[in-house]
Amino acid sequence: MPERAAGTGSTGSVETVAGPVRDPGATLMHEHIFGLSPEILWNWPDIPEGWDLELRAREAADKLTELKGHGIDTIVDLTVIGLGRYVPAVQRVAELTEVNIVVATGIYTYDALPPYFGNRGPGSLFGGPDRLAEFFVRDIAEGIGDTGVKAGILKCASDHLGMTAGCERVFRAAAQAHRATGVPITTHSHSASRGGLEQQKLLASEGVDLSRVVIGHAGDSTDLTYLEELIANGSYLGMDRFGINTISPFEDRVATVAALCERGHAGRMVLSHDSYCFNDRFDHEVVRRRHPDYHLLHISRDVLPELRRRGVTEEQIHRMLVANPRDILTRREPY
């Protein structure tokens, strides 16, 4: 396990691209600014999607500024290695908008690790120490690359394949980095197979306080028994794919949040879309036609009014959008 990291920022604050803030305000906890495919962009720069940093940064900033007008102050950008994280572009966006942006460290894979890590470390082709936690801690304590931007959250994933050997290495490294730095953990989980429980079990085995964990994509499930089991184990639920109605329709997503609020669980949920300002992996026109609500304004425009109509109180909405994210993101002491 890494030693406690020095220089990780003061406790009691939230690390953003522009530096630490005391109060992030209304926060969407699972979004993305850019999803990029570097090798495609390097080798076929004329693809229709195109990549011009200044153009895409201004487009993204315009979307975030519009979001600010709908009452959202902060977004958590969970783009990590495996999704095309490029923090210099996110820095430019942050210069152009008043919305706070929290960035993440971690690795996104459902199966094997990227070869750089897959060929190094215990049980790999070349063996040696597992340096994943070291890399994650560096992003948190020193900053990402040469940007000086410090990650404010750890991201790890498992999906329909379950906790593969590669995923397990990432989860264990995230747990170690979490304990060394005090920053929270959020996950990508597969609700259909109740995958959040497996994630909790592994993180707990590494000594993680599960109240410092968000089980992402829990909102894909309508199984209240499963969701309440995740809550009973201590974690927050990421009700964070509003607008992706092919996995779970709008009606089911809002009904599930309303039911959990009625059962007294508003203090254990956060809201988001899992949307992108720009993603070269998708055909934008196809996405627009198939997912017309898959955008940053859907929660403000559609979800919150429907939750209110179903009896969710302003206090509960404030808890899910403001108080819970602040509690999750505020830096704690290592342990």
Beta strands in 147-279 (DSSP E): 153-157, 185-188, 213-215, 236-239, 269-271, 276-279
Task: Tell whether residue 160 is among the known ligand binding residues.
Answer: no
Comparing CA positions, the residue from 217, 116, 204 lying closest to residue 158 is: 217
Helix axes 250-262, 224-232, angle to 10 degrees: 50
Contact 79, 34 (CB under 8 A): yes
295 is in an annotated binding site: no
Could you please report the per-residue DSSP string of 100-123? EEEEEEEB--SSSPPHHHHTSSTT
The helix/strand/coil state of 9 is: coil
Beta-bridge partners for 33: none
CA distance 250 to 68: 23
What phi and psi values does residue 238 have, to the nearest 5 degrees? -85, 100
Instruction: Answer for the pair 103, 77: CB distance below 8 angstroms, yes or no.
Output: yes
Annotated ligand binding at 291? The verdict is no
Strand pairing report for 185-188 and 153-157: parallel
Query: What does the alpha-carbon distance between residue 51 and residue 88 come to, in Å, rounded to a whole number?
Result: 14
Per the document, the length of the chain is: 335
Residue closest to 324 by CA, chosen among 228, 217, 235? 235
Sequence-distant (6+) residues with CB within 8 A of 43 are none
Please indicate if the annotation marks 178 as binding a ligand: no
Binding site per annotation, positions:
30, 32, 155, 188, 217, 274
Binding site per annotation, positions for Zn(2+):
30, 32, 155, 188, 217, 274
